[in-house]
Amino acid sequence: MKAKVYVNLKAGVLDPQGKAIQHSVELLGFSGISDIRQGKYFEISLDGSLDQTNAQASVEKIAREVLSNPIIEDYRVEVEG
Amino acid sequence: MKFGVIVFPGSNCDHDAYHVISKHVGQPVDFIWHRDTDLSSYDAVIIPGGFSYGDYLRAGALARFSPVMTSVKKFADSGRFVLGICNGFQILCEAGLLPGALIRNRDLHFICEHVFVRVETSDSPFTNELKTGSVLRLPIAHAEGNYVCDDATLEELQREQRIVFRYCEPDGTVTQNSNLNGARDNIAGICSRERNVLGLMPHPERACEDLLGSSDGRDIFRSLAATLAAAV
């Protein structure tokens, strides 16, 4: 079983890295882009000892307490069965 | 009075802090390894600058899980003094000992230069030997020093006069031009509600000798020493 965690800066929190990437993308000639925000992606392998519900709860806790800073970031957890 | 300087893997201003306490404050000081948990013999601890855990995940994010941080929390709760400098400020925010967070500098650069900060309040254990409104010249060296917090937190910090230092011009005027990292409300340093925990991005420990370009940082350590002397 695998869990995926996505961590993004909250809307409104400045993302200078995203802005710099967007600038480079535009310099390369790609058009039609209005914004790029950089986030983080984590893959967590689970050893199978937790059922789907408990795995979801456990990874949510990891995402909330370690992987993200709730002051500036939001997270989303997906547990694959 | 006894000082401790906490050392994480990746701390690199620990020796500077130690040097300032032993040479300029003239008091006993120990290094405290991040796995130690006994802070009972200390009156003040310094969380120094550097790159604890290589800034992995977020600056300060992993250091907060080091065993010593549980003790630092209790230490602060008991009213004793905690000074977090640069990475130390980031760790204190991540650990919830100070509100808000420090994110990437507005213009992405790692900024390494001397800046001016205005002392916003002399009502703190770290600034009581300074006049409110006085200007210090201190070095900064960081990539994540852009202080952010929500509106309610900012209002609380302002109302309780917990903004201790703000980036300013040499004459003390607070301008956006002097706010190199983009920090909210030009915040360079804040203290806890009980005022015994201070975090700041500039490095006072690197500004205690004229040879280093400024000795303005001494007044911060002098204030803390005066606070401790009065408490004994």
Q: Name the residue ranges covered by the structural domains of chain B.
A: 3-231
Selected from 3.30.1300.10, 3.60.10.10, 3.30.1280.10, 3.40.1410.10, the CATH number assigned to the domain covering A2-80 reads: 3.30.1280.10
Amino acid at residue number B157: L
SS3 (DSSP) at B50 = strand
Q: What pLDDT, on a 0 to 100 scale, did the predictor assign at position B90?
A: 98
| Percent of residues, chain A, with pLDDT higher than 70 | 100
Distance CA A59, CA A49 (A): 13
Helices (H) and strands (E) in chain A, counts: 2, 3
CATH numeric code, B3-231: 3.40.50.880
Residues of chain B positioned with their CB less than 8 A from the CB of A9: 103
- Chain CA centroid to CA A59, Å: 13
pLDDT 10s digits, B94-120: 999 999 999 999 998 999 999 999 999
Q: What pLDDT, on a 0 to 100 scale, did the predictor assign at position B26?
A: 96
Q: Is the pLDDT of residue B231 over 90?
A: no
Question: How does residue B33 score in pLDDT terms, banded at 50, 70 and 90?
Answer: very high
Catalytic residue check, B208: no
For chains A and B, CB pairs below 8 A equal: 36
Average pLDDT, chain B: 97
- Non-local CB neighbours of A25 within 8 Å, separated by 6+ positions: A33, A36
SS3 (DSSP) at B2 = coil
Catalytic residue check, B113: no
Interchain contact, B182 vs A15, CB within 8 Å: no
For residues B209-232, one letter each, b for 16 or more C-beta atoms within 10 angstroms of the residue's C-beta and e for the rest, the string is eeeeebebbbbbbbbbbebbeeee
Q: What pLDDT, on a 0 to 100 scale, did the predictor assign at position B49?
A: 97
Of the CA atoms within 13 Å of residue A74, those in its CB half-sphere come to: 6
Note whether B190 and B137 are within 8 A (CB): no
Measure the CA dihedral B74/B75/B81/B85, to 10°: -70
Distance CA B187, CA B194 (A): 19
Q: Name the residue ranges covered by the structural domains of chain A.
A: 2-80
Whole-structure pTM value: 0.95
Catalytic residue check, B205: yes
Q: What pLDDT, on a 0 to 100 scale, did the predictor assign at position A50?
A: 93
Q: Is the pLDDT of residue B133 over 80?
A: yes
Q: Is the pLDDT of residue B196 over 90?
A: yes
Residues of chain B positioned with their CB less than 8 A from the CB of A8: none
Q: What pLDDT, on a 0 to 100 scale, did the predictor assign at position B68?
A: 98
Mean pLDDT, residues A72-81 taken together: 94
Select which of B13, B86, B93, B191 is catalytic. Answer: B86
- Of the candidates B164, B163, B83, the one whose C-alpha atom is nearest the C-alpha of residue B130 is B164
Q: What pLDDT, on a 0 to 100 scale, did the predictor assign at position B108?
A: 86
